[in-house]
Each structure stands twice: as structure tokens, then as C-alpha cells.
Amino acid sequence: MKAEQQLKASLKEIGDLKAALDEHAIVAITDPQGKITYVNDKFCAISKYPREELIGQDHRIINSGFHPKEFIHDLWITIAQGKVWKGEIKNKAKDGSFYWVDTTIVPFLNDDGKPRQYVAIRADITERKHAEEARVRLAAIVESSDDAIIGKTLDGIITSWNRGAEKAFGYSPQEAIGKPMLMIIPPERAGEEPKILARIARGESVDHFETVRVRKDGKRIDISATISPLKDSSGKIIGASKIARDITEQKHAQEQLKAFLKEIGDLKSALDEHAIVAITDPQGKITYVNDKFCAISKYSREELIGQDHRLINSGFHSKEFIRDLWTTITHGKVWKGEIKNKAKDSSFYWVDTTIVPFLNDDGKPRQYVAIRADITERKAAAVEVVQLNAELEQRVAQRTVELEAANKELEAFSYSISHDLRAPLRAVNGFAGIVLEDFSPQLPEEGKRYLERIRNGGQQMGELIDDLLAFSRLSRRPVSRQTIDNSKLVKIILDELKFVLANREVQFQMGQLPSCYADPALLKQVWVNLISNAVKYSRDKNPAIIEIGSKCENNEHVFFVRDNGAGFDMRYANKLFGVFQRLHRADEFEGTGVGLAIVQRIIHRHGGRIWADAKLNNGATFYFTLEEGENL
Amino acid sequence: MNEPKEIEILLVEDNQDDLDMTLRALRKANLANHIHVARDGVEALEFIFCEGPHANRKIENGPKVVLLDLKLPKIDGMEVLKRIKSDPRTKIIPVVMMTSSKEQRDVIESYHLGVNSYIVKPVNFEGFATAVQELGMYWLLFNQPPKTGG
């Protein structure tokens, strides 16, 4: 009785326990083959299968396919060996939805120690699993964010550190977590952290706080940070989350933009300082003028804005000119030109103008910017230059007329000399000759000698006149040049001379003579005069030696004619080339003193130089230079 | 001066000295028999074209040679030459231009106008006499012109 009562009590307890278990857990029992032999209401509720559809089935009916084969295999090995298995399983309900159950499978053994049945007790952990998945997802988001997301305690100790943080600051999570935030704060900004932490502790957020932080490699970066308090489930502030963005580049771009804007501003002020600037709308109405525009046009800004440029039109330019300007700029092309404008006080000014059309997206001019430079003075100077040139030309023309007149006069003079001066000479000579011829017997010897002297004087004057005329003709004669073979020319001259010199012993020594560029007739005159002089002044030497040659000096050919004759005193060398200048008396060496003057004039007319070197009674050398001829 | 005898030489010379020397040289060469002297261009043209004081002369009986000085009063030698050589009746008459100098432009212009000789009066006495005699001789004796009117 007591045992029965005890059993009854035990059964009741078991029944209570079972009821409590059923109330609390999802329970299923399977046979050793896995066939479901029992499910409680909670099992049916969560799996959404009615009990009839479950009994006799095995657990594959609720298999989600989520777990790998190894997982299922391990489970069966465990329980078949009579051991308890615990784990979390994802199942599939009848409607296809999934649920998670925390599962404990207890094998009950028969006397042989083989499993007799398995009792599976499960708890629904679907919500926990979802929460877990959400957390993982969030963590993944945090992890993959480019922004640095950092968790820290109210003491400023780092508690979390995402990949963005690693990227931004260079520390790995292992290096950062547990360390103070001060590690990434530059020393001079260390004061920021306590202030931030104080605000966080008061429950305030810090939004878009721009500051500077230090990377692991010591480099400083600009960041923009938002720091918010972190609360536990009870609402107590336990730390802070900090989202920081590296804005170094952004900052840099901003600074560049700022610098750029400043530069544009500088350029504009420089332009304003330098140029006359106006901006007009597409219709030509003035929308902007700078101070210089006002200054030169003498209009105030208020008088100009809203007007078009006709206000300052000088009326100087043709309609075509203005039309061309407008055609150019309305086609979006830059126009450049010089414009005469009229200022408010009716004075005129000239501006060198560049008009640049600025186009809108349709390619139509949106506005025109005109940049001008004041060229009034330059224009005035140009007018002056034109006037001066005209005056100069007039003066040149006048001088030319005067010069021509002078030349004509000179020509008339020499023409007259050549005729009129000779006629009386002919009379002097002629009648002296007639007296000698017709009255010789009546004349004493002395009288005849004097008449001879008269004739000689007249004769010499005739020669002087001839030489003088030859000399003056030289300056009127045009020089027509060609390349001349000097060797050939001098040989011809020497051949001609040899006839004259038949009764004298003269040794000619001829060296190399390069070609030159000269007038053939005039150059021949030069050689003839110089060689004849050499022959004349060396007539007292036996043998007379005359050397004709050339040498190269300072890249130019110098021709020379040298004799061993009378020479002259170098003190009088400056008189050598003067007309009618002689260094010898006529009874020593005859001559009129024109030969060397002619030579010098010819050489000068060819752009060459002539000089002489001599010693009294020790010969003379005449040198001259001429433009080099082509190679012959 | 206006006897209608045949004139062989017309000497046109304004300078008395040159005239005397020329006449003397011609005389010495026996060329002075039929010389008419004109002292300027106007006189020379009147004689050749039988005008004024020479109106009773016949133009066909022109001189055999004209010795013409270049520089003459009133009408100069060049103009006289031009008139003689541009008239078909007279252009056959040989004209010898005598001048003091050999100015190129004068020489060239004379030959353009058809002068037959051009001589420069030498300054020296012998040269002058010889030149006058030679050219007178040449034109009178060796250079017989065809009969005028041909």
C-alpha cells in the first residue's frame, strides 16, 4: 500500500514533470530507427505539421538542408553510441519557413545497452538566431565600411576597431583594441579628447567634428568625426562610438579650390589694374566695367551699366568695321583690333581691344568680355612718325633736287672748263707758235726761248685741265662691277708698258694675284697709274725692280706695287693722295699730281682702302684692298 | 660776202683766235681759196639755206664741207648740225664738228645727228694746224660728195 502510494505519488510527479516539460519544450521521441513515435503540441505548433503527419515519419520531414552531412552523421554516431547529443539545428516547417531549435537528444538504452528510443528535447531559438544573424550582418557592414568606426569606453579606451579604422590610421584591430584613443591624437590636440568624452558622458553627440589625427606611420590626416554615446540596454552610457572619415584629400581639394579662387581673384585684380575691362550681355548691354574703363571713358559706372557701346562710339570706324566685329563675336570667335572711342568730354582715345565671347551650353554667346589697352599715345606717336617720315621724305626729295642741281652745276662747270678754258690756251700756244714760225729771223735767241716757255706753260696747263676733268668725271661715272682676274689684267698692262720701256732695264716680279670684284675699266686705271708711277720714280735705278703681288691680312687680300725708286719722306704721306699734290718737283719727276688722287678715289668708290709705305731714296710700296671676287 | 661764187668750205667759228689760226692753217695748205666764214649759228644757217643776206644764192650750190664749231652764240653747233642733216636738200653736205673737248655726250649726240667727223682742237700749235689741214684735205679732195639733187 505504501509502495502503491509511493508509486502513485511518483507517477503523479512524473506526470507533472512531463506536463511542465511539454509546457516548456518541444519534445519528440523516436524509435532506434529514427521513426517519430511521439511529438508534443509544441512540436506540432513550431513545425506546423499535425501530429498524424509526423508520427511514423523520421526527422527528414523537417530537414532544412542547412546542415552539412558530417553534422548529421556526427549526431547519429553520438546517439547510436548511447551518448547525449547537444546542438543547434535549423529545421523547415511545413509552410517552408525555417526555425532554429536548441536540441538535446537523450538515448534510452535497453538491457543490452542498445538504444531503445531517443528523446529529443528542443527549445525554440529562432529569435536568438535572427538577432545573431542581424548582429553578424551589422558587424559585416561596420567591418566593410570605408569610414573608420571605433568604439571606446568613457575612459577613452578603444573597444572596437573596424577595417576602415585600420585603413585610416594604420593600426590593426589587435594593435588598437585596449589602447587609449590618445594614441591617434597629435600631442597638441590631446586636450580635445577629455572635452569630447565629457560631452559624451553628458549624453551629447559631436557631429562632423573636423580635426587632425596621427597615423601609425606618423603622417597626419584630416578627419571629420561624428561621435555618439553608446548606451547599454538599461540606457546607461557605457562608451562612445566614433565614425571618422579621412578628409585629407577633400581638404586638399578644398584648399586647392580656395587657392584657385584666390588666384582667379588675383588675376582679375591684376587684369583690372592693367587693362580696361568691360563685360556685355549677348545684346551688347554693358553689365560690368572696371575702374579703368570709367577712368578712360570719363563716364561713371552708373552711366555705363545698361548702355551699349554706342555711348562711346567715336564715329571714326566704318559700318563694315563694326559689322565685322559683331559678326566675329556672335559666331563665338575672338575679335582683336584697334578702336577709336569717344569719352564723355568728347575727347578721343584709342584702345587695342580683344573681345572674347563666352558661350552657353548651346554654343550661343552668353556674354562678351572685352579687354582693352590704352594705345592713344602710341597712335599719336604713330601719326607723328608718319608726319616725320613725310617731312623726312620731303627733305630728302628737296636735298635730292638740290644735289641734282649741284651735280648739274658741277657738270656744267666742268663742261665749261673743258671748252672755255682751252680756247684761250690754244690762242696762247697757237700765236706763240705762229710768232716762232713766221717771225723767227727777227727774234733774238732769248726771245725765242721765252716764247718756247710760253708754249710749254700752255701745254702743261692743257694737261692739268685734262687730268682734272678726268678726275671729276670719275665721281659721276657709275661703277659697274664684275669678277676680275687680276693676274691676267696686270700681264696685259705690263705687255703694253714694255713697248714704252724698250730703252730701260726694268725687272718686273709678279706674285700671286687673287681675283677681285670691281669695275674693269676703273681697276685697270688703278693698276696702270700705280705701275706707271713705280716705273717713273725708279728710272734712276739700274736695274729698276718693280714687285707686284698680294698678301693675306686679317682675312682680306691686300694688293701691293713696290719699287726700289726715289721713294718719299713719310712725313708728307698725308699729302700723297691729294689732287695736284706732289712730293717731287716737276724738273725731278714730271706729272700733274692727279694720278694717285684718281687711284684713291677709285679704291674708295669700291669700298676699299689704300695706303703707302716709303723711305726717301729707298723705294715706295702702295697697298690697296678690294672686295674679293668669285673663284675663277 | 654775198658774191654767188662757188664756196668750198663753210667755216663756222665765233672765236677770233681760233678763226685766225684755222684760216692760217688752211691757207698754208692751199685750201683757203673759197672759204666763207660764219660767226654764229644764225649766219651759218642763213648761208646754207640761202636766207636773209644770202637770199640770192642757190641752195644746190652749197659748200663742199662745213667746219662747225660746237659752241656758238645764238644757235649752237649742234642745232646747226641738226638742221643741215634733217633737210633732204642739205643732208648730203659733209659736216666736221670741231670742238675744244671730247665730252662724251657731245660726241654721241653729234654722231646721232649724222656728223661726218668729230675732231678735238688740240691745245698745242702744231697739232691744231695739222688737224685742220688734214681734215680739210680729206673732205675736199678724197671724199668727193655726189652731186646734190640726186
Question: Grid coordinates in use for B19?
Answer: 678763226
Is the Cβ pair A418, B103 closer than 8 Å? yes
Q: Which residues contact B136 (CB under 8 A, 6 or more apart)?
A: B9, B26, B29, B31, B65, B67
Q: Chain A residues contacting B, CB < 8 Å?
A: 415, 418-420, 422-427, 429-434, 455, 458-459, 461-462, 469
**Computed from CA positions of residues A415, A416, A419, A422, in that sequence, does the dihedral angle turn out positive or negative?**
negative
Q: Number of CB pairs < 8 Å for A and B?
A: 61
CATH entry 3.40.50.2300 includes domain B9-140: yes
Task: Chain A: give the shortest CA distance to residue B17, in Å.
Answer: 6
Tell me, yes or no, whether A498 and A554 share the same domain: yes
| CB nearest B125 (choices: A422, A424, A430) | A430
- Please indicate, yes or no, if residue A225 is contained in any of the structural domains: yes
- Please indicate, yes or no, if residue A10 is contained in any of the structural domains: no
| CB nearest B123 (choices: A415, A426, A431) | A426
- Please indicate, yes or no, if residue A324 is contained in any of the structural domains: yes
Is the Cβ pair A427, B18 closer than 8 Å? yes
pLDDT (tens digit per residue) in A202-233:
888 888 888 899 999 989 988 888 888 888 87
Question: pLDDT at residue A37 above 50?
Answer: yes
Of A449, A470, A491, which closes a domain? A470
| Amino acid in position A628 | E
pLDDT (tens digit per residue) in A237-248:
888 888 888 888
Bridge pairing between strands A220-231 and A237-246:
antiparallel
Question: pLDDT at residue B145 above 70?
Answer: no
Tell me, yes or no, whether A181 and A202 share the same domain: yes
pLDDT (tens digit per residue) in B5-58:
566 889 999 988 889 988 988 888 887 778 899 999 999 999 999 998 988 888
Tell me, yes or no, whether A587 and A501 share the same domain: yes
| CB nearest A426 (choices: B70, B71, B121) | B121
Look up cell 546517439; give the residue.
A79
Report the number of distinct structural domains present in chain A: 5
- Please indicate, yes or no, if residue A130 is contained in any of the structural domains: no
- Please indicate, yes or no, if residue A631 is contained in any of the structural domains: no
Q: What is the pLDDT of residue A303?
A: 92
Among candidates A488, A471, A461, A478, which has minimal Cα distance to A529?
A: A471
Q: What is the pLDDT of residue B5?
A: 53
Q: Which helix (H) or strand (E) holds A456?
A: helix A445-476
Q: What is the pLDDT of residue A455?
A: 87
Tell me, yes or no, whether A613 and A505 share the same domain: yes
Average pLDDT estimate for A542-561: 90
**How far is A459 from A432, CA to CA, in rounded Å?**
12
Is the Cβ pair A415, B103 closer than 8 Å? yes
Of A14-28, A372-386, A530-544, minimum mean pLDDT range? A14-28
Range of the domain at A320: 275-374
- Please indicate, yes or no, if residue A45 is contained in any of the structural domains: yes
Question: pLDDT at residue A342 above 50?
Answer: yes
Q: Which residue in B has a C-alpha nearest to residue A456's C-alpha? A: B124
CATH number at residue A445: 1.10.287
Question: In whole angstroms, what separates CA A514 from the centre of its chain?
Answer: 53
pLDDT band at A632 (very low <50, low <70, confident <90, very high): low
Tell me, yes or no, whether A91 and A158 share the same domain: no
pLDDT (tens digit per residue) in A578-588:
877 888 877 78
Is the Cβ pair A433, B101 closer than 8 Å? no
pLDDT (tens digit per residue) in B66-114:
999 988 888 889 999 999 999 999 988 999 998 887 777 888 899 999 8
- Please indicate, yes or no, if residue A132 is contained in any of the structural domains: no
- Please indicate, yes or no, if residue A128 is contained in any of the structural domains: no
Is the Cβ pair A420, B70 closer than 8 Å? no
| CB nearest B125 (choices: A418, A422, A433) | A433
What mean pLDDT is reported for chain A? 88
Tell me, yes or no, whether A490 and A612 share the same domain: yes
Q: What is the pLDDT of residue A442?
A: 92
Tell me, yes or no, whether A611 and A578 share the same domain: yes
Is the Cβ pair B17, A426 closer than 8 Å? yes
pLDDT band at B149 (very low <50, low <70, confident <90, very high): very low
Q: Where are the domains of chain B?
A: 9-140
pLDDT band at A191 (very low <50, low <70, confident <90, very high): confident
Q: Chain B residues contacting A, CB < 8 Å?
A: 15, 17-18, 21, 24, 70-71, 99-101, 103, 121-126, 128-129
| CB nearest B100 (choices: A423, A455, A461) | A423
pLDDT (tens digit per residue) in A434-493:
898 889 899 999 999 999 888 888 888 888 888 878 787 777 778 888 999 999 999 999
Tell me, yes or no, whether A506 and A601 share the same domain: yes
Tell me, yes or no, whether A391 and A501 share the same domain: no
